Structure 1
């Protein structure tokens, strides 16, 4: 690895872990349990604000789901959230609710998060060498912590110094990576953008990170590596 790399920032889905686990296990689990979970916890401090934010986002789409008493629109809000799951929309309130629901599934032992063996191996090696590791995913920070805390390779959460989600901005927006850099610099004096290596399976995310000045590596796990790849492209963490 380039000696200039002082911090590693990694994506999850398609990078450290299979896309199929999220698509075929987590998303269906959330969709199945979301209606009852929302109804059972509608007045909880974590749920009520998420429902209000859902109404606000729906209003931006031209739908009026807001009400002084959010409970009056519960069914409509649930329907909207299920629609977003089907569309794989990266909506912050949905991600927050999914995280809460997934917590139940993890704690009940309904599933464990998938990890690519090479990802687990090298994340441990990098951590042991003193290289700070961070996560940036469209899933909420809570969902990220659950993912690594209940992985098939055990509790990997202690490997990471911090987590970022869409509250810093969209993953295909350059400003998001500048926001992350500013936060990292609070804990790592003298850190520059080119000292941060971002790992992802999505070219557009890598483009945004590169534009922010970060180094990038493209994980191409399932398909052939493009001949004209604009980023260093590898099949596993062992090649980084």
Structure 2
């Protein structure tokens, strides 16, 4: 690791979030525990709201519950949420409730999106050099915008030209990167993708996208083969843009 020259044809930088812009620990030790610790209180506070009832209805096909059963119904939903999270389920119902809870947590200042300190200065330089910058994460576009809109660096949404989630396709399938290139309006080899996951890097590379694997504290280790095969960076500042000289 050190200085990594960016190929001259690169016009856009595509960023993963977890383990790339943001510590994995933030997701595992802040975001997910927040749901488990606060779901009962959140349901009690928002129970009468239509959005909350839609979330609950998705989580649990209810057969009419009387007022006296409210606590039992809430507890059943809480238990279901904890159970799904313990199995790392990614159901639409769970993701929807989590998204709404995180939205409230960010907006009230209970949670701030953590960003590695090299990220914002580097992105500003890339943009000054004429680069477009996009996010591609398995978290929903709404969750991405919350993280960057209420971050430890303030609202940094203006730094991004667009957001992609798994609606465009899974991150481990090369076709997803072709779709992103088409959506951005460039060729796949005009994109540099930064990720901490070799399987994603491999899929992007198969689509002729340039790739660098990001080494951050808390990320999964790489095999010796992966270390010797991929371009590695431990900070966004290690990317050297020829166009900025």
TM-score range, shorter chain: 0.7 to 0.9
Does residue 228 in structure 1 map to residue 228 in structure 2? no
Cα distance in structure 2, aligned partners of 1:238 and 1:130? 16
Deviation at 1:128, TM superposition (A): 2.6
**For 2:9, which of 4, 11, 16 is the aligned residue?**
4
The structure with the largest alpha-carbon Rg is 2
Cα distance in structure 2, aligned partners of 1:52 and 1:211? 41
Unmatched runs of 5 consecutive residues or more in structure 2: 1-5, 240-245
Deviation at 1:92, TM superposition (A): 4.0
Unmatched runs of 5 consecutive residues or more in structure 1: 55-64, 186-190
Q: Which runs of 4+ in 1 moved over 4 A?
A: 38-54, 65-78, 223-226
Please provide the CA RMSD for this pair: 2.8
TM-score by length of 2: 0.78
SS of corresponding position for 2:118: helix
**Greater relative contact order (CA < 8 Å, ≥ 6 in sequence):** 2
User: Using a 3 Å threshold, how does the CA distance of structure 1 residues 167 and 96 change in structure 2: closer, same or farther?
Assistant: farther
CA contact 2:177–2:188 (8 Å) conserved in 1: no
Q: Deviations over 1:74-108 (max 9, x none)?
A: 76554333233233344444333222211222222
TM-score by length of 1: 0.79
Kindly report which structure 2 residues correspond to 1:90-239, keeping only aligned pairs within 5 A, or say none: 90-185=90-185, 191-222=186-217, 226-229=223-226, 230-239=229-238
